[in-house]
Amino acid sequence: MASKIQPKQANAPRTLIGWQGVRFTLPAEWNITGFSMERDNGYLKVDSPGTMFVQIKWSSPNVRKPITLGDWIVRLWRLFRPAPPGEEKIPDIRQMLESFLKQTEKQARKEKKPFESKIKPETIEANGERIAHHFTWSGQGQGQGKIWYCKTCRRVVIAQVVGQKKDHLADIASEMFGSLCDHPQEGWATWALYDMVAGVPEDFSLKSQKLMSGYLKLEFERRAERIVIERWGLANVVRKKFSLEEWLDTTYPTHSTRSEKQAAIVQEHAGWIAHGRVRSPLDWMRAMRDALFSLRPATRYAVCVWECEETNKIYGIQVWHNVRTKGLLEEVMARCECH
C-alpha cells in the first residue's frame, strides 16, 4: 500500500499533487487549475487560494519519436559512416532557461514594468541525478524557480512559484522542490488531485479525464488494457436510495451476474469487488477490435466500489485486462487513498 502523505509540520495539512509522473506537495487548498494530457511534453498549473500559483512544464527532448522515412535514410547513411559512440546528450538547460525568462520579460515590458532576473550557477542535485539552475525574477509580479535535467527519466523540467510582490514565495518553493519527484517510482505513477490519490502502472497512459466538483474520472490505457477510476461526492445522499451492492450493479452493469461478486474491505471501508470475463457485446467488440493491434485482447474485467464515510465519497475502479495480467484491480485499489 502506498504511504500516506506525511505533513511537514504538525497541524499543517498538505495537499499532494500528482500528474504524469510528476509529484509534489503544497499547502492545503492549493488545487490543479490547468494541465495538459501529454506525457512527454506536459504542463501543470496549481493555484493557491490567494495570488500565488505554481507552474511546471516538462519536455523529453531525448525521447524517440516515431520513425519516419527520413530517419531510415539517416540510419542507412550511418551504417556506412558509423558515428563514434557518444555520451548521453544533455540538453542545454541554461539556454532553455534564458529563452523562458525572455518570454517572461516580454510580458513585463508589455505592461511597462521593469524586469530583473537572476540565474544561479549550475548545481548537481539528488545524488547526481539532476543538473539544475535556480532562478528568480521580478517584473509583472515575481517568480522563484528551477530548471533541471533528470538523468533517470531524461526530462527537462522547469518549475516556478509565481506571486505578487507581497507574497512570500520562498517557503512554497522550498516545500515544492523539497518534495518534488519528476518520474514514477518503482513502476507506479501517482495521480493526485482534489484530495484523491491514485496509483497507476507507469506504462498506462492517460486517455481521458473529467474533473468536476462532484465527480472525478480518470481513464488510462496500455494497448488493449484499461483502468477507469471514478469518484462521486455526496455519498450520503446516494446511499439513502441505494445499498452499495445496488450501486455496483446499476453503475457497472458490465459486470454480469455470472461474474464472481463478493463483499470486501477496501481502504478500511466496506465495499464490493467483482471479477469476470468481458460479457457485454460492446466490450467484446472492443476487445476484438483492440486484438487487431495487440495479440492479447483484454478479455477479463474486474470492478470494485466502496464508500469513504470520512470524506463522504463513493469510489469505483474498473479494469479490463488480458489473461496474463494478474492482480491489477487489487494493486490499483490498494494505492487509491481516500481519506
Cβ nearer to Zn ion, comparing 150 with 248:
150
User: Binding to Zn ion by residue 123, rule CB under 5 A?
Assistant: no
Q: Which residues 6+ apart lie within 8 Å of 256 measured at CB?
A: 276, 279, 280
**CA nearest to 271, candidates 297, 233, 321, 309:** 309
Cβ nearer to Zn ion, comparing 93 with 338:
338
**Closest approach of Zn ion to the CB of residue 339, in Å:** 3
**CA nearest to 231, candidates 209, 260, 253, 249:** 209
Q: Of these, 32, 150, 193, 302, which contacts Zn ion (CB under 5 A)?
A: 150
User: Binding to Zn ion by residue 182, rule CB under 5 A?
Assistant: yes
153 backbone φψ class: left, alpha, beta (φ>0; ψ -120 to 50)? alpha
C-alpha atoms less than 13 angstroms from C-alpha of 47 in its C-beta half-sphere: 6
Radius of gyration of the chain measured on its C-alpha atoms: 23
User: Binding to Zn ion by residue 338, rule CB under 5 A?
Assistant: yes
Cβ nearer to Zn ion, comparing 20 with 318:
20
**Closest approach of Zn ion to the CB of residue 153, in Å:** 3
User: Binding to Zn ion by residue 158, rule CB under 5 A?
Assistant: no
**Closest approach of Zn ion to the CB of residue 103, in Å:** 24
User: Binding to Zn ion by residue 308, rule CB under 5 A?
Assistant: yes
Q: Of these, 153, 206, 273, 314, which contacts Zn ion (CB under 5 A)?
A: 153
User: What angle (nearest 5°) sits at the alpha carbon of residue 221, between those of residues 220 and 225?
Assistant: 125
Contact present, 235 and 308 (Cβ < 8 Å): yes
Detail the DSSP E strand segments found in 20-129: 22-27, 31-35, 42-47, 53-59, 116-119, 123-125
Cβ nearer to Zn ion, comparing 189 with 319:
189
Q: Of these, 51, 152, 257, 280, which contacts Zn ion (CB under 5 A)?
A: 152
**Closest approach of Zn ion to the CB of residue 270, in Å:** 11
Q: Of these, 146, 183, 222, 335, which contacts Zn ion (CB under 5 A)?
A: 183
**Closest approach of Zn ion to the CB of residue 142, in Å:** 27
User: Binding to Zn ion by residue 339, rule CB under 5 A?
Assistant: yes
Buried/exposed code over 143-175 (b: 16+ C-beta within 10 A; e: otherwise): bbbbbbbbeebbbbbbbbbbbeeebebeebbeb
**Distance set, CA 304 to CA 116, 161, 238 (Å):** 54, 39, 17
User: Binding to Zn ion by residue 14, rule CB under 5 A?
Assistant: no
In the stretch 47-86, what mask flags binding to Zn ion with x, by CB under 5 A? ----------------------------------------
Q: Which positions touch Zn ion (CB under 5 A)?
A: 150, 152-153, 182-183, 308, 338-339
